[in-house]
Amino acid sequence: MKITGYRSLTTVHRWGRPVGDANGVIADGVTEVPVVLLETDGGAVGVGLGAHADAARVFPALEGQDPRAVTALYDRMLAHTFKTGHGGATFGTIGALDMALWDLKGKLADEPLWRTLGAADRFVPGYASGLDIALSDEELVALYECWAERGFTAAKIKGGLDSERDVSRLRLVADVLRANNPSPAMMLDVNESWGRHEATRLLAKIEEQVELTWIEEPVRRWDVAGHRAVSRSARAAVATGENLTGLEQFRLLLMRDAVQVVQPASVWGITHFLRVAALAHGHDLPVSPVGYNADPLAHAAAAAPNHLAIEVQDLNLPVGLTADHTVTDGGIVLGDSPGLGITVDEETIMTLAETGDWSHPDGPHVRPADAGLRLVPKTDRPRTGTPCAQHAPLRPAADAANTAPTTSVTS
């Protein structure tokens, strides 16, 4: 069997609410979902999810190869791009194609991927995460009530702009989840919005008022010293990794004991997750994959001995996609469909007129100029006080003395 080609599609996910984080918000709640379909001469098609803008450059590494040699092909894709580097969009492309290869491997074995990867249990523990920074308190409670109905006992909220607001929202969500557990696990994700000078101070302020399980991405992704400093001062664990590409970017964080929850991103593919999970396991650390549409890493998470919990971001699926799993009992119950269990309705997607854009200038994938450089909370509270322009200008005492009236004496 040989790989013969690929097709690229783009569908949308309708969140039904604004979604975003400290960096920005997609107000209409409609985001794009790239899909790559990997074709073989035997008719089997593998499904991969995630941006793959470099597919034309990476695909020659796969063309004509046997798709069952997944890990060897992953290394072949890395080798194919070694001169220019495999970070960013290139790594995303490799991840999407790798996901499609693993889907093919499960389909060719006629078994769900969690079985192919050696998992014994189809249940994958999870936590709820609504990309919820733009929601009002009432909307936030309503959203997490839906998660509570699905048995969730852990949640992660988005924050980082106003620590008092973060504390209030953490308490609101914890109260909702107490329907399932008296001590729900609460996490805060600030998405690299703090500078090192802010992180320890603001986190200490928050931890005085609420119990945090972990603080996520408190500083920039490459700041090993910053993560270590936060780790040393916090009671909560430090979680990070979703924006790191390749084992080489994780290695120093783990060697310096600067991270306690290791988080590979779903869009970087299954082989990357498995390798990062093994690296973390060698350091006695848990791994927690960051969520994505249709939860494709759930199969790999089920097979990882150090898996902690997978992020589950929404109960709905993108237009034209179905997935053989159920979100219940605070996690994901995987089905028996071969491969990833994700099916693609190409006809529906091809007729889709709606588009979405994660990279909108106001969205969460565009870093604000003041991120990490804020002295005070960034709030929407109205400013009060009288404009200085309405007051008489202040003048130093020396100037007043110099311009005081004088008496002229003549003889």
Q: Which of 316, 283, 313 is nearest to 297 (CA)?
A: 313
Tokens at 130, concatenated = 């609504």
Q: Do domains 3-112 and 114-339 have the same CATH topology?
A: no
Pairing relationship of beta strands 310-312 and 123-129 according to DSSP bridges: parallel
User: What are the tokens at 329?
Assistant: 């009992």
pLDDT of 380: 66
- Residue 335 carries which DSSP code? -
Could you count the other beta carbons within 10 Å of the beta carbon of residue 221? 16
Per domain, the residue ranges of the chain are 3-112, 114-339
Report the b/e string of 275-295 with b at 16+ CB within 10 A: bbbebbbebebbbbbbbbbbb
Please tell me the distance from the alpha carbon of residue 302 to that of residue 310, in angstroms, as a whole number: 10
Each residue's pLDDT, cut to its tens digit, for the chain (411 residues) gives 999 999 999 999 999 999 999 999 999 999 999 999 999 999 999 999 999 999 999 999 999 999 999 999 999 999 999 988 888 899 999 999 999 999 999 999 999 999 999 999 999 999 999 999 999 999 999 999 999 999 999 999 999 999 999 999 999 999 999 999 999 999 999 999 999 989 999 999 999 999 999 999 999 999 999 999 999 999 999 999 999 999 999 999 999 999 999 999 999 999 999 999 999 999 999 999 999 999 999 999 999 999 999 999 999 999 999 999 999 999 999 999 999 999 999 999 999 988 887 778 888 888 888 888 888 888 764 434 434 444 444 445 444 444 444 444 443
How many whole angstroms separate alpha carbon 162 and alpha carbon 158? 11
What pLDDT sits at residue 360? 81
The residue ranges of DSSP E strands in 180-257, in sequence order, are 185-189, 214-216, 237-240
Hey, how many other C-beta atoms are within 10 angstroms of the C-beta on 60?
11
**Quick check: 342 and 298 in contact, CB under 8 A?**
no
Among 3.40.50.970, 3.40.47.10, 3.20.20.120, 3.40.50.1980, name the CATH number for the domain at 114-339: 3.20.20.120
Q: Would you say 194 and 162 are in contact if contact means Cβ atoms under 8 Å apart?
A: no
Burial 373-395 (b: 16+ CB within 10 A, else e): ebeeeeeeeeeeeeeeeeeeeee
Fold of the CATH domain 3-112 = Enolase-like; domain 1 (3.30.390)
Render 251-281 in DSSP notation, one character per residue: HHHHHTT--SEE--BGGG-HHHHHHHHHHHH
* Phi and psi angles of residue 59, each rounded to the nearest 5 degrees, phi first: -55, -35
- pLDDT value of position 154: 98
Question: Which amino acid appears at position 93 of this protein?
Answer: T
pLDDT of residue 364: 87
C-alpha span between 216 and 67 (Å, rounded): 36
The contacts of residue 11 (CB under 8 Å, 6+ apart) are 32, 33, 35, 318, 319, 320, 321, 349, 352
| Dist. CA 113–CA 197, nearest whole Å | 44
In angstroms, the CA 129 to CA 189 distance is 10
What is the model's pLDDT at position 411? 36
